[in-house]
Structure 1
Amino acid sequence: MGASTWSACCAPSRRNRAANVWNDRRQSSSESGDAIMKSERILERLRGLNDEIRRQDPRLHEEGMAARSGQETGTLEGLPGGAVESAVHSESIVMRRLRPVLAVKGGTTELAFADPAESELWKERLAGAKEHLDRAIRAVGRVELQGGRLDWVGTGWVVAENVLVTNRHVAQEFAQRRGEGFAFRMGSQGLMSARADFLQEIDNPAALEFELLRPLHIEEEPGPDVAFFEIKLTSGDARLAEPIKLSATIRETPAVATIGYPAYDSRIPEPDLMLRLYGNVFDSKRLAPGAVTKIEQTRLQHNCTTLGGNSGSVLVDLDSGLAVGLHFSGSFLATNYAVRADVVEDLLRRVRSGRTRRETANPVPPPAPPVRSKAAAPQGASGSASLTIPLTITVSLGGQAGLEPPARRWSGAPTEPDDGGGESGGEEARPEDYRDREGYAADFLGETVPLPKVERAASDVLTYDNEGQQDSVLRYEHYSVVMSRSRRLCFFSATNIDGNLSRKSARVGWKWDPRILKSQQIMNECYGNPPRFSRGHMTRREDPGWGDPVTAKRGNEDSMHVTNATPQMQAFNAPIWLALEDYALQHAREDDMKISVFTGPYFSDHDRPIYGVRIPLAFWKIIAFIHDETGRLCATGYEMNQEQNLPSEEEFVFGAFTSPQLGTAAQVPIHTIEMRSGLNFGPLASVDPLTGQMEGIGEAERPGLLALEQIRFI
């Protein structure tokens, strides 16, 4: 090919160059708009939290007002969103004043704040509690591992002469129940071991390590998130610090502090804000003052600033120096949770007396899910017994014996896995054929449950022309989908289900959605007969199939759009995963039998391409409904991992996500799904019975669901 021909083929024309410039500007404008919206959400969150802290602690109010006024008169740089960024910066200063994170050096709190605008009140409070804090600081260590996948996993502290207390989900990373006792786990190079380093301070290269000799007790779920270890009393010439005494009086107070080891947390959707608050210093002993804001039956809520790695931190009362709680979880800049100190003390007393038999280990168990009068309960069920049915997940298709979903009044049945065949379901539709599709209804349950918002990857949301307007929601009969432009798969599929009006319909073939380009969808490529993938429904085929016969048929057929499918190995659709919606309907309000379901894949940088498509390794599901017993909105979250079912010739590394047993479903906190997926589920995380569960560096193993009765709805 001659030079002139090369130039004609490859050099962009003036029109193309102009189009490219316009597209670049449009993309830049879109990304700028996304950044502004994100900053606005952060600003709203910061202001709300700062205002709440002021209401709880009037003495801090006057100090905070000076910093707040600065944001209103601050100089803007004239850039798009500059005013918002300036306000976020000013509100961050307020946050660092109201809830500072202080360094611990030489075994004492360093009363040097990150900002010139220091808090005189916190200086006064912390200086007055110096003796208490210094004593507690010496007793708090970082739990470090040998032979495991992580170097360290959380925080622990000396609670008795030779006993270290931490969280269950920290302990489960390296220890487990064995028979009626407990033992260390096997690692990649043999039996794992653990120690606690009580120095690990900023700019301090020294170490003060005490060996964890054996696990004494790991409390089983749904009991409090507590574990005890016997710890060696001496390390060379050093002796273990004095224990931190436990308070028997738990009260709301504006003056407490956590002591622990915050780690950089990649799950937090506001990493820049995290860096501002922590000064980009992690993994070392820090002290964060705050308040106890609410007392519950077995736990308390507090608002000290924490991150993953703080799991197992002590919560110290500044007035008495006593421990009032064992921190176990938190949602960044929202609410933190700690096991009450009197609950820890009661459990420790029973461990030492040998009264923690396995079947009675939980001192305050939550109420069991109610058994509906119109649903057949498992045989032999009673108010105090549970039925656990063994289940092998890697069964062949059709081998679902051993799990029978509870009887139900609606006519749906667990979705059959797709066989991967068939490209089209007959005549292709036209965009105008979808004008009457209303899609997911936010008010379906009687309370507003909006569609999730794509936050982390907002610029990747696929839009289309909807009668002259740009739209991002593909609406079908009783369900809606939002697509990823880069992955050509849905971020999520959301559906409403009315179990009272469900109807069975014949299955049709898969079809394109004519409202978006075929190049933005996946019909074949990775799909087909084994070893290729099945088209796995996100919204199950029968879920939108309800209403009058015509509407139900349309809902069933609409579910067969490839926009509602993701690549799944056929063995992935385990019986429990398929039966979650059915089971939730049994706990929906009696007179409605309605639920809303959100399902989607986790998109990860670790997803590897097979047959030209990057295959999601794990999926999430959230179910919302009005609970039959409480009459209130309830939502539960679940995860499932298909990594073990993927072709063995391909190498897959999932990274941060670990499931208790690959291929099993697990109930997880909705805020965990939010952090991993980058989606915002609005009010649902606040009505999740697992709210406040698990905050750690690595994800400790979570028990898989072997029976539907294990699900917590309240």
Structure 2
Amino acid sequence: MTADTPRRDPPRRASHLLRDLSRVREALRPEGVEALVSAHLPPSWRRPTSVAGAMSADALRDELRSVLATGAQVLARLEHAGEDATLTDVEQVALETVVAFFGRPALAVRNGSFGAPPVGWEVLEQHREDIERTIDATGRIELAGSGLLGTGFLVTEDLVMTNRHVAVQFCRHASGGWVLRLGVVPQVDWLGEHLRDAQAAFPISGVAAIHPVHDVALLRLGTAKGASLRPAPLRLASRAPGDSASRALYCVGYPLKDHTRTPPEVLLRIFADAFGVKRLQPGELLSVDPARQQLAHDCSTLGGSSGSPIVDLETHAVLGLHFGGTRQENHAVALWQLAEDPLLRRAGLRFDSP
């Protein structure tokens, strides 16, 4: 495909996700672009050697300025021509970058909180305290000395929920059930924030349950050495959300670099090559599939987000357990449909409990 090939899908997606194109375009005036560049690639940011070949940090900042300025021009065209506007590949990438900043952002978490929400997501500010509780109770599942495997969140005082496909990387099935593999040291770090070396790591001492049908696992926490953060468990939804149309959600997780679903140049601009660190990712509920006991959502997840909680922005109860997706939509286990599941009940999970 050449740079002049017209594309029609991105304008429709942008019109839906950005909602108010004129407000976003106003936010992309030169002073707004400069503020975004300064916040995203601050003077303290140093270009990792893995990024963009020999481009300097200043060159990357200039490129981001140019892309956002192009995005503003594309938005002006969309306001005039509507969803029938056609885009070249260059314009599509610029529009996807704008959508990533304003429509489905991946906000960096620092010191247990997040920065000022972008245009279109000001509602997050009204829920900051509740969101911070979700942030606290979500951690990196990793192998000591090896790295990030996925995300998990606290569901009881000593149980962490994650995906089965995350847990089997360090668990095995034995005659008496699931056990930890010999020689591995899995742990949950409740921090894992960008530009912060502090840890609040608890060892994973065992496997409470791995679901035979759904991509769900429950891991038992051990005792951390010394003083360490011990967050409060999250509430699990006991019933389906009300009107699912445009219902706001958010996800907390540790997205890893993944070029299969998002263009690499967009990934660089969104994440500044800071992957595997804690992020807040708002989005919407797209649909519910009762037969499969799943939901679809459009939060900006990547590999590493597996095991993230999908949380209702209105009630702050966990609706789903994220496990994967495509460029069109992401998928999660619909937890309220497992409220009577025998395996989860035996593990002591409570739904919609304080």
Query: What TM-score results when the alignment is normalised by the length of structure 2?
Result: 0.74
Secondary structure of the corresponding residue to residue 122 of structure 1: coil
Return closer, same or farther for 1:69/1:194 CA change in 2, 3 Å cut-off: closer
Aligned with 1:267 (options 246, 250, 260) = 260
- 1:179 deviates by 1.6
Shift of 1:106: 0.4
Aligned with 1:182 (options 163, 178, 183): 178
Q: What is the match of residue 105 of structure 1?
A: 110
Deviation readout 1:347-373 (Å, 9 max, x if unpaired): 46333269xxxxxxxxxxxxxxxxxxx
Shift of 1:151: 1.8
**Is 1:36 paired with 2:33?**
no
Q: Distance in 2 between matches of 1:238 and 1:44?
A: 51
1:322 Cα shift? 1.2
Task: Give the AA of the match of 1:339.
Answer: V
| 2:73 alignment counterpart | 70
Q: Is the 8 A contact 2:252 2:279 kept in 1?
A: yes
Match of 1:167 among 163, 170, 177: 163
Deviation, structure 1 residue 88:
3.0
- Deviation (angstroms), 1:94: 3.4
Secondary structure of the 2:285 match is strand
Which deviates further from its counterpart, 271-280 or 157-166? 271-280
- 2:3 is paired with a residue whose SS is helix
> Could you say what the CA RMSD is over the residues aligned between the two structures, in angstroms?
2.8
CA offset digits 1:389-428 (Å, max 9, x no partner): xxxxxxxxxxxxxxxxxxxxxxxxxxxxxxxxxxxxxxxx
Counterparts of 1:72 and 1:245, CA distance in 2: 39
Alignment of 1:635-646 (within 5 A): none
Correspondent of 1:145 among 140, 143, 146: 143
Q: Conserved in 1, the CA contact under 8 Å of 2:3 and 2:88? A: no
Q: State the distance in 1 between where 2:92 and 2:154 align.
A: 42
Which of 197, 206, 214 in structure 2 is aligned with 1:224? 214
State the one-letter code of the partner of 1:36: A
- Cα deviation, 1:447-505, whole Å, max 9, x if unaligned, reads xxxxxxxxxxxxxxxxxxxxxxxxxxxxxxxxxxxxxxxxxxxxxxxxxxxxxxxxxxx
Offset at residue 239 of structure 1 (A): 4.7
User: For residues 164 and 204 of structure 1, what CA distance do their matches in structure 2 show?
Assistant: 23
The corresponding residue for 2:282 is: 289
Could you tell me which amino acid in structure 1 is paired with residue 211 of structure 2? Answer: E
Tell me by how many angstroms 1:224 deviates: 1.4
Amino acid paired to 2:205? L
Code of the aligned partner of 1:122:
W
Match of 2:97 in 1: 92
Task: Answer whether contact 1:64 1:98 (CA < 8 A) is retained.
Answer: no
Q: Describe the superposition over 1:222-275 as per-residue Cα deviations: whole angstroms up to 9, x where unpaired.
A: x11100011125542225210001111322253211000001114346222222
Q: Secondary structure at the match of 1:342?
A: helix
Does the residue aligned with 1:238 lie in a helix, a strand or coil? Answer: coil
Gaps in structure 2 of 5+ consecutive residues: 29-70, 78-86, 350-354
1:278 aligns with 2:245: no
In 1, Cα distance between the equivalents of 2:197 and 2:8?
40
State the alpha-carbon separation in 2 of the partners of residues 353 and 196 from structure 1.
20
Q: How does 1:206-225 map to 2 (within 5 A)?
A: 206-220=198-212, 223-225=213-215
Q: CA–CA distance in 2 between the matches of 1:87 and 1:269?
A: 12
Q: 2:234 aligns with which of 223, 228, 244?
A: 244
Which residue number in structure 1 is paired with residue 128 of structure 2?
130
Greater gyration radius: 1
Task: Give me the whole-angstrom Cα distance separating, in 2, the residues matched to 1:344 and 1:236.
Answer: 36
Aligned residues of 2:140 and 2:150 also touching (Cα < 8 A): yes
Q: Is the 8 A contact 1:177 1:218 kept in 2?
A: no
Secondary structure of the corresponding residue to residue 36 of structure 1: coil
Work out whether 1:49 is the aligned partner of 2:13: yes
Which position in structure 1 is the counterpart of 2:318? 323
Letter in 1 for 2:254: Y
Partner SS, residue 92 of structure 1: helix
Looking at structure 1, the residues matched to 113 and 304 of structure 2 have their Cα atoms a distance apart, in angstroms, of 20
SS at the partner of 1:276?
A: helix
State the secondary structure of the residue aligned to 1:97: helix
Q: Distance in 2 between matches of 1:340 and 1:93?
A: 30
Residues 200, 229 of structure 2: 8 Å contact kept: no
Q: CA–CA distance in 2 between the matches of 1:71 and 1:319? A: 33
> How far apart are the structure 1 equivalents of 2:220 and 2:21?
44
Q: Structure 1 residues 281, 344: CA separation in 2 closer, same or farther (over 3 Å shift)?
A: farther
Give the drift of 1:217. 1.2
Which residue of the other structure, out of 302, 310, 315, is the alignment partner of 1:307? 302
What are the ranges of 5 or more consecutive residues in structure 1 without an aligned counterpart?
1-33, 75-81, 113-117, 355-714
Cα distance between partner residues in 2 of 1:239 and 1:70: 46
> Matched residues in 2 for 1:198 and 1:110: separation?
19
Distance in 1 (CA, whole Å) between partners of 2:72 and 2:194 is: 33
Provide the residue aligned with 2:47 in structure 1: none
Paired amino acid for 1:338: A
Q: Cα 1:194–1:217, aligned 2, differ >3 Å: closer, same or farther?
A: same
- Contact between 2:148 and 2:276, CA under 8 Å: does it hold in 1? no
The offset of 1:301, in angstroms, is 0.5
Kept in 2: contact 1:64–1:94 (CA 8 A) = no
Of residues 173, 177, 196, the one that matches 1:204 is 196
Deviation at 1:62, TM superposition (A): 5.8
CA distance 1:212–1:336, shift in 2 (3 Å): same
Task: Report if the CA contact (8 A) 1:261-1:286 is conserved.
Answer: yes
Q: Distance in 2 between matches of 1:35 and 1:96?
A: 26
Q: Which has the higher contact order (CA 8 A, sep 6+)?
A: 2
Whole-Å separation in 1 of the counterparts to 2:219 and 2:260? 29
User: How far is the alpha carbon of 1:323 from its aligned partner?
Assistant: 0.9
Tell me if structure 1 keeps the 8 A contact 2:295–2:334.
yes
Check the 8 A contact 2:140/2:189 in 1, yes or no. yes
**CA-to-aligned-CA distance 1:536-595 (integer Å, 9 cap, x gap):** xxxxxxxxxxxxxxxxxxxxxxxxxxxxxxxxxxxxxxxxxxxxxxxxxxxxxxxxxxxx
Q: CA deviation at 1:277?
A: 2.8
The verdict on how the C-alpha distance between 1:44 and 1:154 changes in structure 2, with shifts beyond 3 A counting, is farther
8 Å CA contact 1:109, 1:133 repeated in 2: no
- Whichever residue aligns with residue 254 of structure 1, its letter is R
**Paired residue type of 2:186:** A
Q: 1:248 to 1:47 in 2, by over 3 A?
A: same
The residue identity in structure 1 corresponding to 2:141 is V
C-alpha distance in 1 between matches for 2:163 and 2:228:
26
Query: Across the two proteins, how many residue pairs are aligned to each other?
Result: 292
Task: Give the secondary structure class of the aligned counterpart of 2:276.
Answer: coil
> Residue 347 of structure 2: SS of its match in structure 1?
helix
1:555 is aligned to none
Residue 286 of structure 1: CA displacement?
0.3
- Paired with 1:353 and 1:95, the residues of 2 have a C-alpha distance of 39
CA spacing shift, 1:162–1:344, aligned 2, 3 Å: farther
SS of the residue aligned with 1:89? helix
1:691-702 residue pairs with structure 2 within 5 A?
none
1:243-642 counterparts in 2 under 5 A?
A: 243-251=233-241, 252=244, 253-268=246-261, 270-297=263-290, 298-332=293-327, 334-347=328-341, 349-352=344-347
Deviation, 1:84, is 4.2
Q: Is the 8 A contact 1:167 1:226 kept in 2?
A: yes
Please tell me whether the aligned partners of residues 47 and 91 of structure 1 are also in contact (alpha carbons under 8 angstroms): no
Deviation at 1:161, TM superposition (A): 1.2
Contact 2:25–2:75 (CA under 8 A) maintained in structure 1? no
